[in-house]
Structure 1
Amino acid sequence: MSGTSLDGIDVALIETDGEGEVKRGPSRTYPYDHASKARLEQALELGKTLADRMARPQNLAEIETMLTERHGEVVERFLSEISVKPGEIACVGFHGQTILHRPSDALTVQIGDGVGLARRLGLPVVWDMRARDMEAGGQGAPLVPAYHRALAANLPPEFDMRPVVFVNIGGISNVTYIDGEADPIAFDCGPGNALLDQWLQREAGIPFDQNGRIAGEGAVIEDLAARYLDSTFFSKSLPKSLDKFDFPVPDGDAGELSDVARTLCHVTAVGIARAREHMPREPRLWIVAGGGRRHPSILADLADAVGEEANVALAEDCGFDGDAMEAEAWAYLAVRAMRGLPLTFPTTTGCREAVSGGVISRPDAGVERSASVRPA
């Protein structure tokens, strides 16, 4: 998994049947070097110009090749480090890098060559998992809820509370609501770390707020927070999803560095809490994953916003890994795709019916699309 924060590639190993059985294994994060990250940032800029998801203008094809090679390198390194032979792996789930997500135009673009990765690794690779959902009228995001549902079924007794909400705070924040046996409800709920990271990078040349120190020295600028929270996105009905650039970075004169940073943390937290407006019942437990879970200001504001009646817990408190959860999810979804099981549901992306997805590429260059079968 290579997320919108562009911090690196997360790799995880799981053993699963693609349904309720999940045995989590080791995981690693391999940071991008400066040159690779700069090229991916260029890809994001090129993505803004795309009207065809297959187009690769200018040097985008070269960047896609670079990204694929980096993924091949880290998978090989990962397997070597954990002493697992490639022949023991059933399949690889490959997210690629999202460079454009425009659901209003039924357009989502993830660069990454699944055919090339399969040939390099000598393993089946499942990739391009969002396109089928959009063909079925969905938003193409979020896709992780199917995995969240499996994790919810394996919560330790002290955290087995329903309704439970899984929160992922990456570049964008998204939530998955799970209550009983119904399909999960999921949606992007607002900015995550992207606004904060972009603000600090532009104004101070700092890639992110290490340990929350900068925001910790600031105070919330109420009118700036209100301008963000007054966005019609928050009251928009489901389904809904976001592109990294849907919320603009504050102007340079918006305030002191630390005050703006503190304000953006507040916006992230309140945006997550307001997701309750789209949920059938008040959640009892919020499980927080993603890089944003490490930011003290975001966590404190989230706990304050959801109130004393709800519990806010880190993924690790519940026996999970907040850094590896999305990479694990992509492995889980790959198995579901191989079995033709649904990846998305009307309650998660707005697709017309539950659909599978993904392109399955095999080392011998065989390519097939996942079937679409919903179990009884």
Structure 2
Amino acid sequence: MMLTAIGLMSGTSLDGVDVAMIETDGRKVRAFGPSGYRPYSEMERRLLRQALYEAVNLPQRDARPGVLRDAEQAVTLAHAEAVAAFTAQHGISAQDIDIVGFHGQTVLHRPERRLTVQIGDAAALAKAIHIPVMHDFRAADVAAGGQGAPFVPVYHRALAQSLEREGPIVVVNIGGVSNITYIDGTDTLIACDTGPGNALLDDHMYRALNQRFDTAGQTAAQGKVDDAWIARALAMPFFAKPPPKSLDRNDFAALKVDGMSPADGAATLTAFTAASIARIVPLLPKVPKSWIVAGGGARNLTMLRMLRDRLQPATVEAADGLGWASDAIEAQAFGFLAARGLKGLPLSYPATTGVPIPMTGGLMARP
């Protein structure tokens, strides 16, 4: 049975809430609905940055001391506002939607401690929007010994299979962190985080130029890459580990480009993201034939050029060029995952998160 689902995603780049509607049975996607976006205000972003800082010392996953309680309320309200604006804009009533997939805002991801924390009050959200809400997608995977990330691969597979092209195909999502899904026919699905996405670059642009991101990669295009810096950074043990593996947004926060000009820093950090994505190739079963880039990084023309240089002769193309809504893919994925969760289908697999057996997941909050 096909379900109409809304997915909500607030990523590690702390930019805002993505909203997307899809029709799916949890296996295939019948139709893409509209998508939308509700940016966080500067005050909300400051609160979330403070929550990230304070979450490092969380004693348990459901604790919400101090600023984390305020941040959770702000995240919940922002998501409720995002749904209200989206449904009003598109003339959708609550009765039209079967399920909402609510990821929440990740403030801590430490799978080695069997701990992953996404803030957001699903019960309050369900009451506010009058639609059942599925949430807490990652907890069961992490509790069972999985990495709890990445969680979008099953959706990437559904999208890639609709292309009917020869594999292997890799879908790269460049958000705050970069992750890949390696798809080869219907049988082989491998996924992992590869390293930094936009988080280091965004933080650098904010500190150096008071800009939220490097628009189209223009600042990086004017800079010079410090290859020695990249070689040192790639020597970190994470990059040699085979998949599955996952990261917290702040795992590379100690890497600084303080001595560089704003443009050289942007060029070096952009190249670092591209190099760390390319570094996964020897760890895959076969060399991929095509790469499809989604997420904020797909709009960074310098990032795409650097990826093409490092991944040739494979093709590298932005997801939007295939008719996919690049900015909406993660939100769509959580609508898709909510449908899968409702039907008891696996959300993660041994080769995507390292969980011992295919795992379903998600908890339900009703209005």
One-letter amino acid of the counterpart of residue 49, structure 1? N
Residue 151 of structure 1 aligns to a residue in which SS?
helix
Residue 184 of structure 1 aligns to a residue in which SS?
strand
1:166 shift after superposition? 0.5
The within-5 A match list for 1:224-235 is 224-235=229-240
The within-5 A match list for 1:158-307 is 160-251=165-256, 253-307=258-312
TM-score (normalised: structure 2): 0.95
Moved over 6 A (4+): none
Residue 280 of structure 2 aligns to a residue in which SS?
helix
One-letter amino acid of the counterpart of residue 332, structure 1? F
Question: Following the alignment from structure 1 to structure 2, what is the Cα–Cα distance between the partners of residues 88 and 44?
Answer: 35
1:35 aligns with 2:43: yes
Question: Following the alignment from structure 1 to structure 2, what is the Cα–Cα distance between the partners of residues 277 and 52?
Answer: 37
Question: Following the alignment from structure 1 to structure 2, what is the Cα–Cα distance between the partners of residues 130 and 22?
Answer: 25
| Partner residue in 2 for 1:101 | 109
Question: Following the alignment from structure 1 to structure 2, what is the Cα–Cα distance between the partners of residues 114 and 22?
Answer: 27
- Tell me the percent identity: 48
Residue 166 of structure 1 aligns to a residue in which SS?
strand
TM-score (normalised: structure 1): 0.93
RMSD: 1.2
Question: Following the alignment from structure 1 to structure 2, what is the Cα–Cα distance between the partners of residues 268 and 253?
Answer: 18
State whether residues 47 and 67 of structure 2, in contact with CA within 8 Å, keep that contact through their aligned partners in structure 1.
no
Unaligned runs of 5+ in 1: 364-376
1:288 shift after superposition? 0.3
| Partner residue in 2 for 1:357 | 361
1:96 shift after superposition? 0.3
One-letter amino acid of the counterpart of residue 35, structure 1? M
Of residues 122, 134, 143, the one that matches 1:126 is 134
Unaligned runs of 5+ in 2: 1-8
1:175 shift after superposition? 0.0
User: Deviation digits for residues 340-364 of structure 1, max 9, x if unmatched?
Assistant: 110000010000100100111111x
1:251 shift after superposition? 3.5
1:335 aligns with 2:343: no
Residue 292 of structure 1 aligns to a residue in which SS?
helix
User: Deviation digits for residues 251-307 of structure 1, max 9, x if unmatched?
Assistant: 464311111110110110111111112211111110100001111221111111111
Of residues 6, 11, 27, the one that matches 1:19 is 27
User: Deviation digits for residues 313-334 of structure 1, max 9, x if unmatched?
Assistant: 1101212011000000000000
1:188 shift after superposition? 0.1
Residue 208 of structure 1 aligns to a residue in which SS?
coil
| Partner residue in 2 for 1:77 | 85
